[in-house]
Amino acid sequence: METGMGIGTTDYVGQIVEGDDGELVLREKQGAKLELGDLVVVDNEKVEYICMVSKLTYGSLIHPDRILTSSGSVLEGVNPRLEFPDKDLRIFRQVHVKPLLEVASENGKQSPRAPRGIPEFMSKARMASAQDFSFLEAPRTKVFIGNVRSGSRTLPVEYSMDGERLLSHHVLVSAQTGRGKSNLVKVLLWEAMRHGKFGVLVMDVHNEYYGTTTSKGLKDHPDAARALVFYSRNPPPGQQFLKVNLKSIDPEDLMGVVEFTTAQEETLEQFRRQHGADWASALLAVNEEDESFKKAKGTIRALKRKVCNIFNLRETAAGYECADGVFDLGGMGEETINDMAQALEDGKVVLIDGSSISDDTGLVIASAVLRKLFDRYDGYKSSGVLKEKAQVVVVLEEAPRLLSGAYGDNVFSRIAREGRKFRIGLIAITQLASVIPREILANIGTKIIMGNEMALERRAIAESAAQDLADFDRIIAGLDVGEAIVSSIFSKFPVPVKVPKFEDLAGIGRGPGMEEARAQPAPKKRYF
C-alpha cells in the first residue's frame, strides 16, 4: 500500500488511464462503487488533486461480439452458465472525474489553486477525507451553509462563507420545488442573526420563517430578542402590528410590481407632484365627471381600481377603508416603513407575515422599505460613513418576475445592478433562473444550486456560474433534497454541500456551544 499526503494506509479506488486537463479517466478498482458527485484525490509529490466524479461508463477488453453472444445465451437460457468470472479483470468501469482543485504543499504550508497541471500518468486515486481540506481557514464573519459532501457521503467538514462578501455580492438559490430552498434560506438567516450586523428583509409569504407553537423558526434563535422583528396582522406577544399608512407609499413603490400603461404612469406622477404624500387619497377623491379630468376619465378609473386592489381598499359611505386593516388612510402606521428601515440598518432580520396579504401588497411594502433604505444609504455614502453601516439584504421569493423587467425597472432590479455600491444585496430564490436577464445573473456572486431536472434551467445556471460547470449537468439533475453545489466568486472551486435540516440546527443552536455541537463528529472544525 502507498500513502497520500498526510494520510495513513490508503485504500485506492482507481487509477488514471487517460484524460487531459479538463477531464481525467480512471479505471475503477473492483468493488469501489464510485457514484456521481464523489470526491476523489490523486496524490503526486507535493501536490494533490481534488476531483469530482462527473461520468461513469463501462470498459471491456473483450471483443464486443463475444460479449453480445454470451449475454444472449445467458438471457435466453440457452447456456445459463456465466462465461466470465466475477473478478474478470477484462471487464471494469471507467470513472470520468473533473479536476476541481490543485493543492500544493511546501514548507509545511498548503496552497490551493485552480488546476494548472495534471497528475502523473497511472497515478492512483483515493476517496477524499476531512484531512484533505485542512487548508481551509475561518472567514471573518462566518455564515455556515452546510457540510462538504462527497456523493452521498457527508464529510465532517463545515462549509462556511464570509457573510459580508456573500451578502453584498448577491446570492441565487436555484432549485425545483421540494429540493430544500426554504430550508436553506432559514439556515442562512439563522446564521446571519448570530452576528447582529446583517439586516435582512423577508416577505414571509407562507409564514414559514418565524415559527409556530408546534414548529421551530427564527423566533427560537438565542439572539431573537435583539436580532428579530416580526410584523403581522395578528402578531404574537412582543412583536409588531402590521399597519402601514398610505402616505408612506410612493407611486415609485408600485412600479415593477404592478403593470401600468404609460398614461397611467404619467397620471400617477402628476398626482405625486401635485399632492406629495397624499397622492393616493387625492386620486381616490377624484370625481371622474369633473371637467378637468374628463379627458383622463378611463385612466383615472383604471388607476382607482388598481390602487384599490393593491391596498385592498373598499368604498364606504364614510370614504375608503382597508378591508384587511393593513393600510390606513388616516393617521395610523405613519412610522412603520421608517421603523422597518431602521431595524435593517441596526442589523436585524425583519420578517413581514405575508400569509394573510396578497403577494403584490407585500412587495409594495418591501419596495417602500428598500426605497427608504436606499435614500439613507445614499446619504451615508455621500458623507463617507457607509462602511460603518450594516450590510442589508432582501430575500426575494419571486425573483424571475421582479428581476426580468416584465413590468419595468423597480427597486429590486436596481439592487441587483448597483446595490453592492450601497451595501444592499439580495437573496434571489427561483425555479426559473433562465428568465432572469443574463447581465443580472452574471452580477450575482454566489449561486447555490440545488436539484433541478429541467435542462434549460441547469444550462442557465452553468453559463453564469463562477466556475466551469459544463460537466456537472448530470450531477445537478440528480441532487437529492438538501444537497447543493455552491459556485462563488469567493471560492476556488465549486463546493458540493449537504445543508442540515433547519429543525436540527435550531434544536442545538443554544449559546456558545452551538459550533462544537454542530460540527460533530468532526475531528477538527473546518471552514471556507
The residue written with cell numbers 423597480 in the block is 410
> Given this model, what pLDDT does residue 523 score?
38
> Given this model, what pLDDT does residue 513 score?
36
- Crossing angle, helix 411-418 and helix 359-383, to 10 degrees? 40
- For 421-441, the pLDDT digits (tens) are 999 999 999 888 888 888 888
Cα 381 to Cα 486: distance, rounded to the nearest angstrom: 31
Over residues 266-278, mean pLDDT: 92
Consecutive H or E run containing 121: none
Whether residue 426 contacts residue 415, with contact meaning beta carbons closer than 8 Å, is answered with yes
Which of the two residues, 136 and 274, has the higher pLDDT score? 274
Which H, E and C letters describe 123-174, residue by residue? CEEEECCHHHHCCCCCCCCEEEEEEEEECCEEEEEEEEEEHHHHHHCCEEEE
CA angle 97-99-105, nearest 5°? 135
Cα 486 to Cα 403: distance, rounded to the nearest angstrom: 22
What CATH architecture is 142-243+333-519? Answer: 3-Layer(aba) Sandwich (3.40)
Cα 453 to Cα 444: distance, rounded to the nearest angstrom: 22
Over residues 351-355, mean pLDDT: 90
- On the question of pLDDT at 156 being above 70, the answer is yes
- On the question of pLDDT at 43 being above 90, the answer is yes
Q: Which amino acid is at 104?
A: A
Over residues 406-410, mean pLDDT: 63
> Given this model, what pLDDT does residue 516 score?
39
Confidence of residue 46 (pLDDT cuts 50, 70, 90): confident
Confidence of residue 518 (pLDDT cuts 50, 70, 90): very low
Confidence of residue 208 (pLDDT cuts 50, 70, 90): confident
> Given this model, what pLDDT does residue 509 score?
45
> Given this model, what pLDDT does residue 35 score?
95
> Given this model, what pLDDT does residue 288 score?
66
The residue written with cell numbers 410590481 in the block is 257
Whether residue 204 contacts residue 351, with contact meaning beta carbons closer than 8 Å, is answered with yes
Give me 356's grid cell.
394573510
Q: Give, in order, the Cα–Cα distances in Å from 460 to each of 37, 437, 452, 455.
A: 20, 10, 11, 9
> Which residues are within 8 A (CB) of 470 and not within 5 positions of it... i.e. 6 or more apart?
462
Cα 83 to Cα 66: distance, rounded to the nearest angstrom: 10
> Given this model, what pLDDT does residue 94 score?
96
> Which residues are within 8 A (CB) of 191 and not within 5 positions of it... i.e. 6 or more apart?
142, 143, 144, 145, 163
Q: What is the mean pLDDT of the chain?
A: 87
Which of the two residues, 297 and 115, has the higher pLDDT score? 115
What is the domain partition of the chain in residue ranges? Answer: 12-133, 142-243+333-519, 247-328
**How buried is residue 237: exposed, middle or buried, by Cβ count under 10 Å (0-12/13-18/19+)?**
exposed
pLDDT cut 90: percent of the chain above it: 58
CA angle 504-509-510, nearest 5°? 140
Over residues 408-413, mean pLDDT: 80
- For 366-380, the pLDDT digits (tens) are 999 999 999 999 999
